[in-house]
Amino acid sequence: MIDMHIHILPGMDDGSQSMEESLDMARRAVADGVKAVVATPHVMAGLYNNSKEKILDAVQELRSQLQVHNIPLEVYPGAEYMLDPEIPRLLKECHALTLYDSGKYLLVEFPTADIPVYAVQIFFEIALQGVTPIIVHPERNGKFMEDPEKLLPFIERGALCQCTAGSLTGLFGSRVRQVAVDYLLDGCYHFVSSDAHGTGGRSPVLSEAYRVAEEYSAGLGELLTMDNPACLLQGRALMRPPVVDRQVDKGKLGFWSRLWRKKITATR
Ligand SMILES: [Fe+2]
């Protein structure tokens, strides 16, 4: 598996606080079946001012330490950007760090309890520069949890979504799990990643979420944790996630749920 969202670089944010902890996270990921990670520290104005150069240097340092300690984990550069009107300018001036530093995909995080009014405009401006924004864990945002259909305008404009593994396994509670499963079955996610911050509760484990996705649809776990992250790494076109037929729940879907499903299916 490839974990494309992990806070494994030491001392950059609220993730790993030391090289020792980073190496423990790496060992845990390898033990879970992860062969590569994209290190994605927070970039948040005023709180985590991690520059592209600083992240690239930290990735090199971690790679050397992994080699010294014989830990077979590949590490690639990336970052998790808090939604900010400055992002398009950073991209334009080549100061933003895209996934794998490939200039093609950018991880974007929404504030925990808000969908800012300027969000759609920023996504539009990011896309104008040939970069595809990937919304991380929409299922954990308060507004999307209240009304999951608010994700539609972003998907319609070409944004992709990445689910946190723990959301599917119930780590963040039943409501987050329900929203995550709904998005999963509606084909909204292209990726599942750990978003691990250490070796405790939010650890680098993907296998449990892989199994949950496989139980809903054979091959889905593989697509989200292996195939699509690999496509992204190799610069190949991503595979479209399936819309999973909800045999059991279909009769229980209300009018708005059916309308949402129709609309979301049309964007696939
Ligand atoms: Fe994160």
* Residues 125-175: tens digit of each pLDDT: 999 999 999 999 999 999 999 999 999 999 988 999 999 999 999 999 999
In this predicted structure, what is the pLDDT of residue 12? 97
Between the alpha carbon of residue 48 and those of residues 72, 80, 110, the distances in Å are 29, 10, 15
In this predicted structure, what is the pLDDT of residue 246? 72
CA of 42 to the centre of ligand 1 (A): 7
In this predicted structure, what is the pLDDT of residue 118? 93
CA of 194 to the centre of ligand 1 (A): 8
CA of 258 to the centre of ligand 1 (A): 31
In this predicted structure, what is the pLDDT of residue 201? 82
Check whether 38 has a pLDDT greater than 70: yes
CB 215 within 8 A of CB 26: no
CA of 252 to the centre of ligand 1 (A): 34
In this predicted structure, what is the pLDDT of residue 253? 58
Q: What is the mean pLDDT of residues 179-200?
A: 95
Angle between helix 174-185 and helix 207-216 axes, rounded to 10 deg: 50
In this predicted structure, what is the pLDDT of residue 137? 97
Local confidence band at 200 (pLDDT 50, 70, 90 cut-offs): confident
CA of 256 to the centre of ligand 1 (A): 31
Q: What is the mean pLDDT of residues 117-132?
A: 94
Give pLDDT tens digits for 46-103: 999 999 999 999 999 999 999 999 999 999 999 999 999 999 999 999 999 999 999 9
- Residue 263 CA to residue 251 CA, distance in Å, equals 18
Give pLDDT tens digits for 203-249: 999 999 999 999 999 999 999 999 999 999 999 999 999 998 776 45
- The secondary structure of 36-76 as a DSSP string is EEEE--EEBTTTB---HHHHHHHHHHHHHHHHHTT---EEE
Check whether 195 has a pLDDT greater than 60: yes
CA of 238 to the centre of ligand 1 (A): 22
CA of 139 to the centre of ligand 1 (A): 13
CA of 223 to the centre of ligand 1 (A): 21
CA of 234 to the centre of ligand 1 (A): 23
CA of 71 to the centre of ligand 1 (A): 23
Domains of the chain: 2-267 (3.20.20.140)
